[in-house]
Structure 1
Amino acid sequence: MARKAPADRAGTRLVVGRGRRPAGLHRRPESAVRLGAGALKCPGSGTWRGRMRTPGAPADTIGTADPVPYSPFRKGAARVSVLDEIIDGVRADLAERQARVSLDELKERAARAPQAKDGVAALRGEGVTVICEVKRSSPSKGALAAIADPAALAADYEAGGASVISVLTEERRFGGSLADLEAVRAKVDTPILRKDFIVTSYQLWEARAYGADLALLIVAALDEEALVSLIERAESIGLTPLVEVHDEEEVERAVDAGAKIIGVNARNLKDLKVDRSTFERVAPEIPDHIVKVAESGVRGPHDLIAYANAGADAVLVGESLVTGRDPRAAVADLVAAGAHPALRHGRG
């Protein structure tokens, strides 16, 4: 059966405003290398002048000299956004790791890692699939759970039927590490998403070297050239990018950059509040051939079903699992809800 558009599945919902481009009109932007090293116009944020790749230079040099990331909140902001603060810390920690481990060493380790699993295939199902997250803390809630053994938690997720396991590797705000990623990879066969604030290709090589199959790329943290370059680099080394957006404008950027999986985060990056209606508003702008992931705000099966009715192919769940009493049972309940026959209509 042909897959219905999200608005069709939602019933009488009518989307007013800018419509989706006809199939075939989404195109990738011209490379910033061909456009030159001048200032580019960023949507809704004036101009930016970041470090451009020298023509002919390898993509792995992108971001190694601390380029300025695109941020929709930096220009004219009265204060630095939460995202900017996190990325500043990420860059400081990244510089320390780069000083200890060369890119060549990472590539050698990545070559010995298990072959990456297909993230798109993992999230495409007859119903709604579930991404379960290993997360100790967050900027919005602070400490959530100690998680002394992330591998054991991941094993519970796998036993419950998770399609993908997300591992936070950002240390300062989320309490994660690459050691967590490595431990989870050694324990489970389920595809793994490295969830971090990735701004350079070095971090993508880290993801592969430590066993990740997917990597998160946040549109709000990257300018156009960096987004395209990181998607291409990720795919070239076997990673499936999950490209995160927060509004319709970012969806257009993600689609134009070639994203195959788009996650809509219902958490506002300015105030960290969750608004589940964000997905309902934004999802119709995502073409049907792209996997749609609803991020944030899933407390149980009822939220999964609500997101499914708004067009979600998958949901990402973290806080409610790590703070609950029985994560395996909680995952099983979500998976069962996602597999309900009523949600299979028009899918697959």
Structure 2
Amino acid sequence: MNILDKIIADKHKELVLKKLVVPVSQLEQAALFERENVSLAQKLKVSNTGIIAEHKRRSPSKSIINQGLNVQDVAEGYENAGICGMSVLTDGKYFGGSLDDLLYARAAVKMPLLRKEFVIDEYQILEAKANGADVILLIAAVLDREQIKTLSEFAKNLGLEVLLEVHNEAELEKSIMPSLDMLGVNNRNLKTFEVSTEVSKKLSEKIPSEFVKVSESGISSVEAIKELKEFGYKGFLIGENFMKTDNPGESAMSFVKKLEIKV
């Protein structure tokens, strides 16, 4: 079993318990369920920088990244830096996140929030909506075409945007459908954890122009973004680069300033 298989197996067990504790009716009655969503796709289209910054405490590949920060402070720092949107990891066992992180980030900022989670069930999309997300992530590596269709259409009906993540051409080909807003290319090989932006460059021409192109993982320099922009990418998901510092908001701000000079 690779790490992704383990995470998904645990997710199935977790969902059984969650559904017993918090029924769907309770999620649908949450105060934030009626909130009007903010479009990340639109923000990326008009932005010069296109940065989506992440809140991530740890990961299976890097172990601890930053356990000591308050999610509200990180969110406010990112918003002040002029970031387009924030990705909030909500997986507990492997990434040290929770739905509370999403809720606290939502209370702190107005910018679009992406719930970064291993979504395999409509219940998780209701959770995202109830806790203030604007966007959900679907990972093509763990879903078949029918699941992608069902889950993305369900999200769209709730007013949420969908970022679909692929790692290779086969995943991309099975995933293209009208119920997606953004197509993300993850530069990290999920089996080896090696990272290369060549993956994004290679797949760029295969992504239809109606989708906002997002490059994810391994983006740590202004030069990398400048290069990827030439391949039509509008969004750039940056996680560890900011989170491994003492002040992610400040490091995001200096990165954005450098980027604005370069573009």
Flag whether TM exceeds 0.5 (same fold). Answer: yes
Match among 103, 106, 112 for residue 27 of structure 2: 106
AA aligned to 1:272 is F
Aligned residues of 1:193 and 1:212 also touching (Cα < 8 A): yes
Task: Answer yes or no: is 1:96 the counterpart of 2:11.
Answer: no
1:211 — aligned with what?
132
1:326 — aligned with what?
247
TM-score, normalised by the number of residues in structure 2: 0.94
Q: Secondary structure at the match of 1:175?
A: coil
Residues of 1 paired with 2:135 and 2:186: CA distance? 17
Residues of 2 paired with 1:112 and 1:329: CA distance? 32
Q: CA deviation at 1:112?
A: 4.3
Match among 179, 188, 196 for residue 100 of structure 2: 179
- Structure 1: any 5+ residue segments left out of the alignment? 1-79, 344-348
Residues of 2 paired with 1:313 and 1:235: CA distance? 21
Aligned residues of 1:128 and 1:312 also touching (Cα < 8 A): no
Write the mapping of 1:155-166 to structure 2, written as runs, cut at 5 A.
155-166=76-87
Describe the superposition over 1:203-262 as per-residue Cα deviations: whole angstroms up to 9, x where unpaired.
Answer: 000000000000000011111111000010000001101000011122222213642200
Aligned residues of 1:219 and 1:250 also touching (Cα < 8 A): yes
Task: Answer yes or no: is 1:151 the counterpart of 2:63.
Answer: no
Aligned residues of 1:193 and 1:213 also touching (Cα < 8 A): yes
Task: Answer yes or no: is 1:230 the counterpart of 2:151.
Answer: yes
Measured at CA, do residues 251 and 184 of structure 1 come closer, stay the same or move farther in structure 2, by a change above 3 Å?
A: same
Q: Secondary structure at the match of 1:292?
A: strand
Write the mapping of 1:1-348 to structure 2, written as runs, cut at 5 A.
80-109=1-30, 112-256=33-177, 258-340=179-261, 343=263
Aligned residues of 2:32 and 2:132 also touching (Cα < 8 A): no
- Structure 2: any 5+ residue segments left out of the alignment? none
Aligned residues of 2:47 and 2:84 also touching (Cα < 8 A): no
Q: Secondary structure at the match of 1:316?
A: strand
TM-score, normalised by the number of residues in structure 1: 0.72
Measured at CA, do residues 324 and 219 of structure 1 come closer, stay the same or move farther in structure 2, by a change above 3 Å?
A: same
Aligned residues of 2:33 and 2:129 also touching (Cα < 8 A): no
Describe the superposition over 1:166-190 as per-residue Cα deviations: whole angstroms up to 9, x where unpaired.
Answer: 0000011100000111111001111
AA aligned to 2:209 is D
Residues of 1 paired with 2:177 and 2:253: CA distance? 36
Q: Secondary structure at the match of 2:147?
A: helix
Measured at CA, do residues 235 and 217 of structure 1 come closer, stay the same or move farther in structure 2, by a change above 3 Å?
A: same
Aligned residues of 2:181 and 2:212 also touching (Cα < 8 A): yes
Q: Secondary structure at the match of 2:53?
A: strand
AA aligned to 2:158 is I
Aligned residues of 2:181 and 2:211 also touching (Cα < 8 A): yes
Residues of 1 paired with 2:245 and 2:47: CA distance? 27
Residues of 1 paired with 2:220 and 2:169: CA distance? 25
Residues of 1 paired with 2:31 and 2:159: CA distance? 10
AA aligned to 2:117 is D
Q: Secondary structure at the match of 2:252?
A: helix
Residues of 2 paired with 1:278 and 1:168: CA distance? 23
Aligned residues of 2:162 and 2:179 also touching (Cα < 8 A): no
Identical-pair percentage: 34
